[in-house]
Amino acid sequence: MKNILRKFTTFTHWLLPQSCFLCGDTSIQPVCAACIADLPYQHTACISCAQALPKTGVCSDCQKQPPPYTHTQAVFSYTYPINKLIPAAKFNQNLAILKLLGHLMAQQLTTEPHPNVLIPVPLHIKRLRERGYNQSQELAKCIAKQTGIPLDYKACQRIKHTDPQTGLSRQERQTNIVGAFQIVRLPKNWQHIVLIDDVMTTGSTVKELALVFKDAGVPKVDVWCCAR
Ligand SMILES: [Zn+2]
Ligand SMILES: [Zn+2]
């Protein structure tokens, strides 16, 4: 009975109009089409680190010190209302918003040439238990489903439980994250991998993860994130 009831609720959830998370208008999706069209899509940015630039190119930071990853794509700028949607998806169990963001990422990203695999930034087991899911893994699942690129969330694990990076300086973030990741398995045919992250702030997390894979012999590591 419980099962039938759950199925029925899931069914009606899709059948009945909901209200848009942002404007409150009736919508069949968690965010209405008008609000989706108004989202802050990122236009011109650094091809290495996805920092917004007036013209597509390589930013001065990446020129001075090239990062371990080759290309980064960020679908959105981390401004309103993306800075409201991602925390809702990450901390308030709003998986419908997370799925929508993953779907929009898959639509907007340039995915050619296809990498061998998508690797979501892993969470430490302690944080995963607290949250119940890994937001980057959920985004990667949507991208994998829509593009056919395989997803591997077991290749690497987070072995260091770090304090949240929010509120830390660039230097503190970098020190905090050193030694946080460990490769579990690495197939020999991986020549080009893509790290999937939700929000890239200073880039210290993906930098450390990219370094771990490069040190293990992967020649090319790119980053696709939801927002920067
Ligand atoms: Zn709306
Ligand atoms: Zn850059």
Ligand 2 centroid – CA 67 distance (Å): 8
- pLDDT tops 90 at residue 195: yes
Ligand 1 centroid – CA 72 distance (Å): 29
Ligand 2 centroid – CA 76 distance (Å): 16
Specify burial of residue 132 (Cβ count, 10 A radius: 0-12, 13-18, 19+): exposed
Higher pLDDT pick, 153 / 162? 153
Residue of 97, 90, 62 lying closest to 166 (CA atoms): 90
Ligand 2 centroid – CA 77 distance (Å): 15
Q: What is the pLDDT of residues 125-144, one digit of tens each?
A: 999 999 999 999 999 999 99
Check if the beta carbon of residue 29 is closer than 8 Å to that of residue 99.
no
Q: Which amino acid is at 65?
A: Q
pLDDT at 175: 85
Ligand 1 centroid – CA 40 distance (Å): 14
The Cβ-side half-sphere exposure at 215, using a 13 Å CA radius, reads 10
Ligand 2 centroid – CA 80 distance (Å): 22
CB contact set of 181 (below 8 Å; sequence gap of 6+): 122, 156, 157, 158, 159, 160, 208, 209, 212
Q: Which ligand is nearest to the CA of 52?
A: 2
pLDDT at 121: 97
Question: What average pLDDT score do residues 172-199 get?
Answer: 93
- Mean pLDDT, the chain, integer: 92
- pTM of the model as a whole: 0.90
- pLDDT tops 90 at residue 16: no
Ligand 2 centroid – CA 149 distance (Å): 26
Give the range among 2-11, 79-88, 97-106 with minimum mean pLDDT: 2-11
Question: What average pLDDT score do residues 98-111 get?
Answer: 97
Ligand 1 centroid – CA 153 distance (Å): 33
Ligand 1 centroid – CA 39 distance (Å): 10
pLDDT at 20: 96
